[in-house]
Amino acid sequence: MKRIGVLTGGGDAAGMNAAIRAAVRTIWHHKAEAVGINRGWQGLAEADARSLGSGSVSGILHQGGTILRTFRYPEFATDEGTVAVGKALKKLRLDGLVVIGGDGSFRGADKLLRTFGLPVVGVPATIDNDIPGTDRSIGYDTALNIAVDAVDKIKDTASSHGRIFVIEVMGRDYGLLAAHVAMATGAEEALVPEIPYDLNEVCRRIEAGYAEGKYHALIIVAEGAGKASYITFEINNRLNRPVRMVVLGHIQRGGAPSAFDRILATRMAHHATELLLGGTHGVMVGIVANKFKTSPLVKKTGVKLADVRQSWELSQLLG
């Protein structure tokens, strides 16, 4: 009987459990054994794994986080880490591995294939939506909805007090999440790393808004565009108005996945596992324009394709 591993890596993203469930059920459907790797790459290096029966993934579809847990493991880039993983793979006797995570996890998966010849497939899961080869990564939609819900609440307070709120959202080096949050909440400003901004201009527009009768200003800042604390300080120095800041932080990563993320995770993980068991590997599965698409795990051109995709979507959004 074939033994197929399932691993979640990088930051947790809502919908990872739905992806685990779909992968495990697909593995058993093909009469192979599903092996859950605990604690991501670190667990793999320590051969920390457990057999996952089909029933072991019951009741997790709607749960946030990852039942397999995850761990950032930069040591895998070192020789020691690589040797440890090699030894663990021998012990675990895996015939293939489904890797659910972001670009760092896909680099790890690619290394497993190149160094040890282990067949791997990738399922994109990160709230940053920064993986080229898919329109959406698992967790993005949930993070967006959580942030929108939070900003709606903050807006009530902003309007009641006539305040300016600077609200920082995650997204690592990218601004799509912030731009979508701003658009969905009707925020006055969206500051994203892809588009240079001038705080004097931002303040001028905010003042103009107040002059026209607005009674609040919401500024959504992508974490990659600057720290909310700095921006709040600078606005405070320029405007004679009450300014507050909120860093949404990890609240955006947890919680029950949206229906969209559950469905996305189920479709992509099922398809990726089918490919792996059918003999296709070394790829990640994405969905582009509602059609499955496979792409290399690691892009070799040196061009940051995520920049291209996000810039394109941003240009559509922000004009």
Catalytic-role residue among 128, 130, 141, 261: 128
Binding mask 204-223 for ligand F6P (x = CB under 6 A): -------------------x
Tell how many helices (H) and how many strands (E) occur in the chain. 10, 11
Distances 148 to 170, 229, 256, 262 between C-alpha atoms, Å = 13, 20, 15, 19
In the complex, which residue's CB is closest to ligand F6P? Answer: 170
List the interface residues with ligand F6P, window 151-170 (CB under 6 A): 170
Interface with ligand F6P by CB under 6 A: which range of 54-62, 121-129, 197-205, 302-310? 121-129
CB of 131 within 8 A of CB of 297? no
Distance CA 5, CA 3 (A): 7
How many other CB atoms are found less than 10 A from the CB of residue 148? 17
Residues 170/177, Cβ–Cβ less than 8 Å = yes
Please state whether beta strands 33-37 and 243-247 pair in parallel, antiparallel, or not at all (unpaired).
Answer: unpaired
State both tokens at 258: 């949206």
Q: Whose Cβ is closer to ligand F6P: residue 165's or residue 174's?
A: 174
Among candidates 128, 16, 142, which has minimal Cα distance to 68? 16
In the list 126, 129, 134, 145, the residue contacting ligand F6P (rule: CB under 6 A) is 126
- Clarify whether 128 is annotated catalytic: yes
**d(Cα 28, Cα 274) in Å, to the nearest integer?**
11
Would you tell me the crossing angle of helices 176-185 and 140-161 to the nearest 10 degrees?
A: 50
Among 88, 123, 127, 179, interactor with ligand F6P by CB under 6 A? 127
Check binding of 253 to ligand F6P (CB under 6 A).
yes
Q: Stretches 107-115, 126-134, 184-192, 301-309: which one binds ligand F6P (CB under 6 A)?
A: 126-134
Least spacing, CB of residue 224 vs ligand F6P, in Å: 8
Q: Nearer Cβ to ligand F6P, position 126 or 310? A: 126
Question: Between residues 92 and 251, which has the closer beta carbon with respect to ligand F6P?
Answer: 251
x/- letters, 41..80, toward ligand F6P (CB under 6 A): -------------------------------x--------
Q: Which residues are catalytic?
A: 128
List residues near ligand F6P by CB under 6 A: 11, 72, 102, 126-128, 170-172, 223, 253
